[in-house]
Amino acid sequence: MRKLMLFFLIFISACAIQPELVTDQSSAPPKATCSKTAAAELIRLQPVSGTLYRDSDEAAKVRVTIVSEKQLSDLVRLMDKPTISASNARVMATRYSVLAYQFALQGDCLKLEDYYQRALATNGDPSHAAWSNGWSKIAVLDYVGAVNVWAKSVPQPNGKPFWLAYSLAVAFQGAGEHELARAWWRAAVISNPALATKQDALRYFDHWRENEKTLLRQLIEQS
């Protein structure tokens, strides 16, 4: 009996210290549609003919991954302190950007915009803030906004980062601009042989959220 009780106490203690995980958003539908950028404001950016979009881009990567509600709450408390040091603006921009994206996944449009503006205000890494914000806008179905953020953040016509062609293809597809979406998808496939077939492309973007993969499937079938 004593052994059974000891086992029970150990089990309860172990459960108590497990962090509450952030809800997996990979297959969940978007929780909110923030005020969409008007269709009339769309920047109808065309890919440059013959251009290979292959340039590396250190700004285009996930630098912080939120895996638990406690981690999210701790980061919010840290970044909301008015006395926080501005000595490392790049770190601050990264943290504000990840908070903006996380709240986009939760459908909190006000916090999404608030933390994005804070990321920009640091001037620590505007390229990363813009790259991340484009995906935040896709998470809340503002496809025109995503196109415009990315179009404005990448110098044209010489900007050729590896992510631009496929990202704009999906964003234009979501915005209903299918001709532009197909043009950017062709540029993406030419730039990256790993996207040559539907199976290859779906495997390459297997980490995307389900609504993003749905747009990708539509785009491939129309191309």
Q: 158-202 pLDDT, tens per residue?
A: 899 999 999 999 999 999 999 999 999 999 999 999 999 999 999
Ordered domains of the chain (ranges, CATH): 40-222 (1.25.40)
For residues 35-45, give the mean pLDDT. Answer: 90
> In the predicted model, is pLDDT for residue 13 greater than 50?
no
Instruction: Categorize the per-residue pLDDT at 16 as very low, low, confident or very high, splitting at 50, 70 and 90.
Output: very low
> Is residue 22 a contact partner of residue 72, using CB atoms and an 8 Å limit?
yes
* Least reliable range by pLDDT among 120-124, 145-149, 161-165: 120-124
Considering the chain, what percentage of its residues have pLDDT values greater than 90? 75
Check residue 11 and give its pLDDT: 33
Q: Within a 13 Å sphere around the CA of 88, how many CA atoms are in the beta-carbon half? A: 6
Helical ranges in the chain per DSSP H: 2-16, 69-79, 89-105, 109-122, 126-139, 143-153, 164-174, 178-191, 198-204, 210-222
Q: Which has the closest alpha carbon to 140: 165, 169, 116, 166? A: 116
Instruction: Categorize the per-residue pLDDT at 152 as very low, low, confident or very high, splitting at 50, 70 and 90.
Output: very high
Q: Which has the closest alpha carbon to 159: 52, 79, 85, 63? A: 52
Q: Which has the closest alpha carbon to 79: 110, 108, 111, 107? A: 111
Other C-beta atoms lying within 10 Å of the C-beta of residue 81: 8
> In the predicted model, is pLDDT for residue 29 greater than 80?
no
- The amino acid that residue 114 corresponds to is D
Instruction: Categorize the per-residue pLDDT at 85 as very low, low, confident or very high, splitting at 50, 70 and 90.
Output: low
